[in-house]
Structure 1
Amino acid sequence: MILSTLTSPIILFFALGMLAGFARSDLVIPEAFAKGMAIYLMAAIGLKGGVEVSNSGLTDALLIAGAAGMALSFLLPLPAFAALRSIGGLKRVDAAAVAAHYGSVSLVTFITANEMLKGAGLPAAGFMVAVLALMETPAIITGLLLARRGSSDTGVASKGLWHEVLLNASVVLLVGAFVIGVIAGEKGFAPIKPVFDGGYKGVLCLFLLDMGLIAARRLRETRALTLRLSLLAIGLPLINGLIGVAIGSALGLDLGTAALLGVLTASASYIAVPAAMRLALPEADPGIYLSMSLGITFPFNIVVNIALIAAVARMMG
């Protein structure tokens, strides 16, 4: 699977973006077009997940996976925080901000893994898009509690923060599209399927080209990363991914769904959590948490870790 991953158009477009970014090419994806692609991808994955749930109904597997995902999102920032403090040498507020990223999830990693697992013969259940939405917020709460522990500031989150966390664009669009898919079902989805299914992989390739450009430029420009933090940006997704797969397998989820749960626990947010951290912890250094999550963990997951997680899921299965 690693070989097929490295030769797939999705990964090759991401690699092209990384190479162009490091080479200081003037290749740029217009911001408005990039936002349009992100909206399309979120709507498509939400719709398709909702249609799958409409076909299968509210199952025990959905409830089990959702509860496991939320618990993992709450708990994974705790060991990450300890490692970032002891090994990474970060001060409390920076360690808490980074830890929140590694308990939350990455939509693009989820979308990419979903397609790669299908290509490897490990399709995941459609309800995992609901699990994705459930896992986005709990880690933010844990990160804020870690940052505020022992502080005289007892207002962990302002009204503006909760609005940002619960009503940010990705959550609204994902959950909204998922609900539309559940209501519409297979029959209602059929007329729009050519738009949201036919062009999906092509748009994903272009979107990952843009993400490669951003990741490379973030790495090229940052001065905040040390060797220890760089190693943690690889070690945390490795360990978290194994934990997610092991729990998914122990709970009786099928191979593809357990693997995708592992991918979610291995991913690191670089959209929702940074926005929340800017509101709640403005004193935290974005050069650290963005460089780790987007500059190192995201490329590592896309190129290497998804395939490793799939292999572990097969072994456990």
Structure 2
Amino acid sequence: MPDIVIAFFALGLLAGWVKSDLKVPQSIYETLSILLMLTLGVKGGMALHGHSASINLGALALIASLGVLTPLALYPLLTQVIKLKQADAISIAAHYGSVSAGTFAVVIAMADHLGWQLAPETTLYLVLLELPAIIIMLWLHRWLLARAANDRKQGDSKQYKDTAQISNGSIWHEALTSRGVVLLLGGVIIGWAYGPQGLADITPVLLGGFKTLLALFLLEMGLSTAKVCRPLPWQHWRLMLFAAIAPFVLSWLGIGVGLLLGLPAGSILVLATLSASGSYIAAPAAIKAAIPEANIGLAMLAALGITFPINVLIGLPLYHSWIQALIHG
């Protein structure tokens, strides 16, 4: 049987498809997401407590580079094969170069359930992979606008200047001060500084209730997924096909890097799953602010409507079996 939290996602998905009146109030969802991100950060920080000296900064830099290389590699595919407009191709590449915090929570729970070892710095993978893709693709958008304006030598230069101002003034701020990053990094720092003993008073409530928080969060994700996918826009069949296939290809980037770095099995599973995921929280907010002409609905359809359920329902068991076969033969 799959982990119990997956059943709650399936329940939400079913309820959404049959148009049930079941819904998670927005205020409850906001609270759940805050607690979930904070709990993940604290768990990661507690794992780092007393192990800071053993962190391999070179390995973390290589992992972070996936967030730069992945979207740059996807962009020409999205423009030439998937036939997306420039703004939408940049948007989708940024979403798939970035990662899913919800998927991260699920794979962490799965690794714990399997008893697979996690490196102390595993929580940092989420932060390292969430930001670079968004930033590099917004800068690519600026560069493409500048080149187009230079070629035409006319009014597009004003559009470029406006976009450049938005990018310079807000890209880094949006990326580094987003709720997820603040909660994750803050939780990591608190967990690292206080350790298990210092956090003993809140551990039973915050960490003991992790799976309950995740189950309720996934119930809402199931409802949201059904809403995004109803009805399916079949005119975008190329993008939907990409969203269905990409996780199984991108997961091998994480597996390859994990094996190259000699990471423990649990960390390889986390890295593979993150590589296979698409952002539906951080990236939409940043892209919508900086590239208003991009269709965020397409990104949500792909990342949340298709890739997220594929990863949760099919991908995770498959990545687990691949890694197990590679490590244990």
Instruction: Give secondary structure in 2 for the equivalent of 1:137.
Output: helix
Structure 1 CA distance for aligned equivalents of residues 280 and 232 of structure 2: 15
Q: In structure 2, do the counterparts of structure 1 residues 118 and 65 end up closer, same or farther at CA, with 3 Å as the change threshold?
A: farther
Shift of 1:14: 0.2
Determine which of 100, 103, 112 is the counterpart of 2:97. 103
Give the TM-score of the pair, scaled to structure 2.
0.90
> Could you say which residue in structure 2 is the equivalent of 1:58?
53
Shift of 1:223: 3.1
- Does residue 1:69 correspond to 2:63, yes or no? yes
CA contact (8 A) 1:101 1:268 kept: yes
Aligned-pair identity (%): 39
Counterparts of residues 284-295 of structure 1 (less than 5 Å): 284-295=294-305
> Could you say which residue in structure 2 is the equivalent of 1:256?
266
Instruction: Give secondary structure in 1 for the equivalent of 2:97.
Output: coil
Determine which of 209, 225, 230 is the counterpart of 2:240. 230
- Does residue 1:182 correspond to 2:161, yes or no? no
Determine which of 107, 121, 124 is the counterpart of 2:118. 124
Q: In structure 2, do the counterparts of structure 1 residues 223 and 195 end up closer, same or farther at CA, with 3 Å as the change threshold?
A: same
Structure 2 CA distance for aligned equivalents of residues 64 and 186 of structure 1: 27
Give the TM-score of the pair, scaled to structure 1.
0.94
Q: In structure 2, do the counterparts of structure 1 residues 221 and 286 end up closer, same or farther at CA, with 3 Å as the change threshold?
A: farther
Shift of 1:222: 5.5
CA contact (8 A) 1:14 1:205 kept: yes
Letter of the structure 2 residue corresponding to residue 213 of structure 1: L
Structure 1 CA distance for aligned equivalents of residues 144 and 227 of structure 2: 37
> Could you say which residue in structure 2 is the equivalent of 1:83?
77
Shift of 1:221: 4.4
Shift of 1:316: 2.2
Structure 1 CA distance for aligned equivalents of residues 249 and 195 of structure 2: 37
Rg larger for: 2
Structure 1 CA distance for aligned equivalents of residues 216 and 59 of structure 2: 31
Letter of the structure 2 residue corresponding to residue 298 of structure 1: F
Structure 2 CA distance for aligned equivalents of residues 134 and 176 of structure 1: 15
CA contact (8 A) 1:158 1:280 kept: no
CA contact (8 A) 1:13 1:209 kept: yes
- After superposition, the C-alpha distances for 1:241-263 in whole angstroms (9 at most, x for unaligned) are 11111111111111111111111
Letter of the structure 1 residue corresponding to residue 13 of structure 2: M
CA contact (8 A) 2:139 2:167 kept: no
Determine which of 129, 154, 174 is the counterpart of 1:135. 129
Count residues with an aligned counterpart. 311
Structure 1, unaligned runs of 5 or more: none
Shift of 1:68: 2.1
Shift of 1:315: 2.2
Structure 2 CA distance for aligned equivalents of residues 56 and 210 of structure 1: 36
Query: What is the root-mean-square deviation of aligned Cα atoms in Å?
Result: 1.6
Structure 1 CA distance for aligned equivalents of residues 16 and 119 of structure 2: 35
